[in-house]
Amino acid sequence: MATLKDISAELGLSVATVSRALNGFPEVSARTRARVQEAADRLGYKPNRIAQRLVTGRSGMVGFIAKLNADMTADQTFLEILTGLTAALAERDVDLVLSVDQHDDPVTVYERMLERGILDGFILNAPVPNDPRVAFLQSRGIPFVMHGQSEPEVHYPFYGIDNRAVSRDAVGLLATLGHRRIALLNGDIRFSFAIDREEGFREAVAQEGLNTPEAFIGHETPSESYGYTEALAMLSGRRGAQPTAIVCGSTLIAAGVMRAAKDLGLSVPADLSLIAHDDALPQFRAVNFDPPLTVTRSPLRDACSPLANHLIDHIAGGEADTLQTRIRAELIVRESTGPVPKGGTDPWP
């Protein structure tokens, strides 16, 4: 492993000059810089992160902590995030240190990783209101970036979608098609994204002059079986007048709803309209549904690069307020949504 000293010896220069040349300082002559660069390439020089960190206080490594569900499974999105993140970070020469959280207390793992003092910052996901990790990291002055936002107004860098708008777009489309009884199968309501979706849903429904009874608003960790059982209950009529449209928190839930509709002999979209939010996970393609699924779409993969960049820029001193991005998910109308069926035009009480 070549060091600065090796290069300086090779060229008869001081390490200081070599360091400056490689780091693009202005006071080194063009000729020298070229010689140094050539030698560095030739010897395969890569700066030693550990030594850099000791003197600068930066390590070029960031942490990510995967939070497992109670049953020790990870949510669908974890792997997708990991893949995108390592690629995006590698692009900027940053390494990802991973840990898995099996604790009750969400901050202990962060604390433990911080103790070693080798991390420049963290990437957080799945924010909850009043997120304790935010309070902890802010109190310690550790940079981080959030995928999503714990609250509507925050003072840290983030990248995420407008989840209220997701619901507004979905409800708006359905209302335009004449639907009056619109149900919601949301994700786990502990998370901020699900809260936003639900609030956005209620607002949009109200704005259309409609109402959705509590029995037709569900929230749970997304799964096919959750979609199936809930849809079965809703569509069977057991809870009152059946919805003519269902908004799903994920394509996984939509798959379950689809199966329930089939089992009940209902056809999509003739009897039931279906719209889901689509993270564009490669395992589960909304286009391949039968019929192809209408979605609000925002590929999880697209978030990774901005997340990495926001964090790296923040570590380098960028202001948090300038590193906040909220994008709008794309509404893609396919064949799972259609006009309200003739018999279904009465609103819920």
Partner DNA sequence: CGGAAAACTCAAAACGTTTTAAATATGGTA
Partner DNA sequence: TACCATATTTAAAACGTTTTGAGTTTTCCG
- Please give the residue ranges that form the binding site for its own copies (CB under 8 A): 1, 46, 48-51, 53-54, 59-61, 66, 68, 71-74, 78-80, 82-83, 86-87, 90, 93, 95-100, 102, 112-113, 115-118, 282-283
Query: Which of residues 1 and 72 has its CB atom nearest to DNA in the complex?
Result: 1
Q: Which of 70, 71, 72, 53 is nearest to 62 (CA)?
A: 53
Query: Rounded to an integer, what distance in angstroms lies between the CA atom of residue 260 and that of residue 231?
Result: 6
Strands 95-101 and 61-67 turn out to be parallel
What is the phi-psi region of residue 65: left when phi exceeds 0, alpha when psi lies from -120 to 50, beta otherwise? beta
Among DNA, its own copies, none, partner that 4 touches (CB below 5 to 8 angstroms by kind): DNA
Query: Which of residues 46 and 190 has its CB atom nearest to DNA in the complex?
Result: 46
Residue 293 binds DNA (CB under 7 A): no
Give the residue carrying structure tokens 């329930």: 260
Among DNA, its own copies, none, partner that 16 touches (CB below 5 to 8 angstroms by kind): DNA
**Is 62 in a helix, a strand, or coil?**
strand
Query: Which of residues 37 and 83 has its CB atom nearest to its own copies in the complex?
Result: 83
Query: Which of residues 26 and 349 has its CB atom nearest to DNA in the complex?
Result: 26
Q: Compute the C-alpha angle 167/171/172, nearest 5°.
A: 110
Both structure tokens of 213: 């009874």
Residue 37 binds DNA (CB under 7 A): no
Minimum distance between the CB of residue 27 and DNA, rounded to whole angstroms?
Answer: 4
DSSP 8-state class, residue 143: -
> Residue 309 in contact with residue 342, Cβ under 8 Å?
no
Return the residue of 42, 48, 130, 262 that touches DNA, per CB under 7 A: 48
Amino acid at 146: M
Minimum distance between the CB of residue 66 and its own copies, rounded to whole angstroms?
Answer: 7
HEC string of 233-290 equals: HHHCCCCCCCCCEEEECCHHHHHHHHHHHHHCCCCCCCCCEEEEEECCCCCCCHHHCC
Among DNA, its own copies, none, partner that 71 touches (CB below 5 to 8 angstroms by kind): its own copies
Amino acid at 30: A
Minimum distance between the CB of residue 272 and its own copies, rounded to whole angstroms?
Answer: 26
Among its own copies, DNA, none, partner that 311 touches (CB below 5 to 8 angstroms by kind): none
Among its own copies, DNA, none, partner that 66 touches (CB below 5 to 8 angstroms by kind): its own copies
Query: Which of residues 97 and 327 has its CB atom nearest to its own copies in the complex?
Result: 97
Residue 120 binds DNA (CB under 7 A): no
Binding site for DNA (CB under 7 A): 1, 3-5, 12-17, 19-20, 22-23, 27-32, 45-48, 51-52, 54-57
